[in-house]
Amino acid sequence: MTFIKRQTTVQYHQFCLIRLPSEGIKIVEIRPQGIVKLGKFGTFAVDQIVGFPYGQSFEILDDNNVRPIQGSLVELEDDEQDDSLKEKIQYLRQLDVESSETNRDLVDIGNATQELTQEEIETLKKTSNGANIGEAIIDKLIKSHVNFSQKTKHSQEKYLRRKQQKFLRRFTVDLLGPSQLLQYFLEKDPTKVLDMSEESMGLLLSLANVQPGGRYLVIDETGGVIVNALLDRMRGSGELLVVHENEHPNHSALKYSNFEPSVIDRMVKTINLLQFFEPEDERVQWNDLSQQEIEEMKSSKKAHYYRRRDNAIQINDAIDNAVKGDFDALIIVSTLYTPTLVKKMIAKVGGSRPIVVYSQYKEPLVETQVESMQNLELLAPTLHETRCRPYQTIIGRLHPLMTMKGGGGYLFHAIRVFPLQEGVQAVGRGIKKRKIDDQQSVDS
């Protein structure tokens, strides 16, 4: 069994996630002598960040250089929030600004509170030198703010955070794992991943009991995001049979996977729905040519012959795998009609194995659950909905984040069982005991 360990440091020929101060994210490939462009935040050389642990923050300097920010890598979120809060308070103390206990005297007069104009800010960007351009602009903005001293400390920290997100030339390198890849596509195009939240994906992997060495039957319409998450859980050991409805599967997200192509080719096998449901009719009939006939071919025809042969072998192997069945789980993330789809595919799942279906809408899964209750091959059909709600907190106040995303999808879960065909005959002394109890009641 080959077990692939997860990387903990930035290495060449790997994909990583860049987090910007503006809360934007970008996927970057670590290529030797490469240059990464982050728009208004600047550019940096990839060689400067190789070898650093994931989670490290950097500040962009001149000439594509970066400087690691000390104390930016922390283990606990609470410590990270405390350090960030202390940093903001310390920064405000360095500027020697006052604050108010309340905002009762604060009068909102719009843009007139800021004496520094946009033209002057653009001039500062062009005339300032070095890596502290952002800090210089923030200092000017705070000192030019008419009502800044009348704000509360919490309001000042929020203002400072907004300006840091806009002007500081910093970024953080993060591991590109399944959660980060899902988060990237949620920011870019939520419909591509069927509006699946990170909590729903984590619950799906847990309910399906995904682990190294397993064999899983999968329908993935998220472009390969779910397949990538399964590969990450399996760590290089096991097998996936991916069923798709088109001529070729859409696994575009796997190009960001940090697994070697040989590992993906070995573990992921694909088959379309027609080949899955009608294997004997779709099996490729292939006759090998003799070695002499192959040698007499031209190089182009010889390459075409080998491609057709390899494709036939791959299709027939996938069909044999589907016919064999006995998969460790059935995982469906699709927009197809799930009630009939589950009914037709459960025969390929082994006993006491989970069946997990994801849908961005509740109605198809409710219908699936109702029909599954009448199916003796499915035990304990259940619907799940996960919701992780972020909160904004300050001392004495707590409320949900007002801009959070709603939804996240729904999950159907059941266990595959084999019902007993014959009648069940009870054994034991139950009948005799009931007769004794009845006789005692009559005597009394």
Higher confidence at residue 76 or residue 46?
46
In tens, the pLDDT along 346-382 reads 999 999 999 999 999 999 999 999 999 999 999 999 9
* Res 332 pLDDT > 90: yes
CB 388 within 8 A of CB 199: yes
For residue 225, what pLDDT is reported? 96
Q: How many residues does the chain have?
A: 444
Mean pLDDT to the nearest integer, 31-49:
89
* Res 236 pLDDT > 80: yes
Q: Name, in order, each residue with C-beta under 8 angstroms of 184's C-beta and a sequence gap of 6 or more.
A: 17, 25, 27
CA angle 177, 183, 189 (to 5 degrees): 130
Mean pLDDT to the nearest integer, 3-16:
87
Winning range, highest mean pLDDT, from 52-61, 147-156, 280-289, 415-424: 52-61
Q: How far apart are CA 144 and CA 116, in angstroms?
A: 6
Domains of the chain: 1-176 (3.10.330.20), 180-416 (3.40.50.150)
Q: How far apart are CA 244 and CA 255, in angstroms?
A: 18
Q: What is the band of 82 on the pLDDT scale with cuts at 50, 70, 90? A: very low
| Rounded percentage of the chain residues whose pLDDT exceeds 90 | 48
Q: What is the band of 176 on the pLDDT scale with cuts at 50, 70, 90? A: very high
Average pLDDT, the chain: 83
What residues are paired with 175 via a beta bridge?
16
CA 170 remoteness from chain centre: 24
Is residue 11 helix, strand or coil?
A: coil
Task: Take residue 386 and report the two structure tokens written for it.
Answer: 């996960």
112, 164, 199, 229, 380 from 414: Cα distances, Å = 62, 49, 19, 21, 6
CA angle 40, 169, 64 (to 5 degrees): 80
**Burial of 377 from C-beta contacts in 10 A (0-12 / 13-18 / 19+):** middle
The DSSP call for residue 285 is P
Task: Take residue 68 and report the two structure tokens written for it.
Answer: 């690691």
* Res 81 pLDDT > 50: no
Q: How far apart are CA 271 and CA 348, in angstroms?
A: 14
Please state which of the ranges 193-202, 383-392, 423-432 shows the lowest mean pLDDT.
423-432
In tens, the pLDDT along 289-330 reads 777 777 778 888 888 888 888 888 889 999 999 999 999 999
For residue 182, what pLDDT is reported? 96
> What residue has token string 């920010």?
69
